[in-house]
Amino acid sequence: MSNLISLPIILPLLAGIIVAFFANKLPLARTMSKVFALINLAVTGFILYQIYQNGPIVLETGDWAAPYGIILVGDMLSITLAFTTNIVAVACVFYASRSLTEQQESYYFYSFFFLLITGVSGAFITGDIFNLFVFFEVLLMASYGLIVLGNGRAQLRESMKYVLINLFSSMIFVTTVSFLYSVVGTLNMAHIAERVQEVDQQGILTTIGILLFFVFATKAAIFPLYYWLPHSYSVPNPVVSALFGALLTKVGIYSILRVFTLIFAWEADLTHTLFIYLAAFTMLFGVIGALSTNNIKLIIAYNIIPAVGFMMMGIGVFTETSISGTVYYLIHDMVIKGALFLLVGVIAYAAGTSDLRKINGLIHHYPVLGWFFFIATLVLAGIPPFSGFIGKLLLIQGALGQEEIMIVIIALITSLLILFSMIRIFIQGFWGEKKELAHPERRQAANRMTWPIGLLLSISVLLGVGAEWFYPSVEWIGEYLMNPQIYIDSVLKE
């Protein structure tokens, strides 16, 4: 049974290798990719069910017992995020053939796509901090291949920025892991969590914690390390932007959530107070960026940043309720950001531009697209009864319980500004008099691109209106993260 937990990593890796042999036979590559994505989703869903019924699954590779061997840990947090990753992947793979040119597809898009899913899933499931670095590199290598698909000066410029900033943070990551190993003598995260309680060199451990936070904050685009993200995520093809916006920053948030609830939780008064301040600045600067531009792709890209701030708010408050809110908001944001990037991709394709000032009256020609975008706007802004509201409600309840009034006020103001930044796309881009389409020949293709988005929107709505079904599991994850001894005991079997 324990071998099951390796499948979310092995299946997309094998899929990426297999479809590479059919890069020039696009109809076959597309069909195979869709089948592989659906199989991976089904398998991950089955593993989620098994863990929900029977508890965490720990795989000791090569029969080397923890902490000596490499381990994979499937708990409710990691497998839920892996399952959500595969939901986004299914929507994207069905959207991709309608969004990409045949030339872009033939440049091994589907291989890079599955390699990215391998890296993201591996980062969620690994129980070893060095292998967390390895899976970071796997997903980053895949993202390098995806971000350069296309042409144009802007894409080349942003690709170079993206590659350089991630190379720099990766160098710091592997160096910090080596420092950590020299202090505690292990790389197993459960074992590290035990050892840090026994080590006298608390000053060095604090420095290591700060360095790890710097690395993860760069990946997650936390203030002031978010500057590279908006343009880098807005210039690629929309399906690539959707994968990046839905998944990559969430790996950084997951890493902070895991490491700072399991390993570096002994100085919560210091570290988590800092997290609250950073959350506030991340919310405000992100939403200001969204309000400052008329590029609809940039508006969505900037709105990634305040969402990261909301998740950091929950980690900073550091109660079971706020951590549950972070987990709920994390799942919600993975789904809705994927949907929004795909939506603005369709809007830009249909209108022939991503400049909001040049888009008007689209709802007369694309009513389904218009109402899909309106629903996505309400979900993102946290309007009840949608999933964004449930996550924010938990975060605010946790903060009020700790009397963190200022961060609550900033969160509420940010939510209103997010709604304003999004609703102006709907009002200006969809409302207005009926006009002749600039590209009427694109109408049928644009309508076909809309339907994979329906999957993600349906799940977003279900996460909100069906919160009573999902919240007990998320609440249990919050309790689990606040009691790290459960994780330690399940891995080390003590």
Q: What is the pLDDT of residue 64?
A: 78
Q: What is the pLDDT of residue 438?
A: 66
Task: From residue 225, give the alpha-carbon distance in Å to each of 296, 328, 373, 409.
Answer: 22, 24, 29, 23
- Is residue 338 within 8 A of residue 453, CB to CB? The reply is no
pTM for this structure? 0.94
Q: What is the pLDDT of residue 268?
A: 67
CA separation for the pair 77, 318 (Å, rounded): 16
Segments of the chain with pLDDT less than 50: none
**What token pair was written down for 184?**
């505690």
Q: What is the pLDDT of residue 159?
A: 84
**What token pair was written down for 226?**
């978010």
Q: What is the pLDDT of residue 205?
A: 87
Q: What is the pLDDT of residue 174?
A: 94
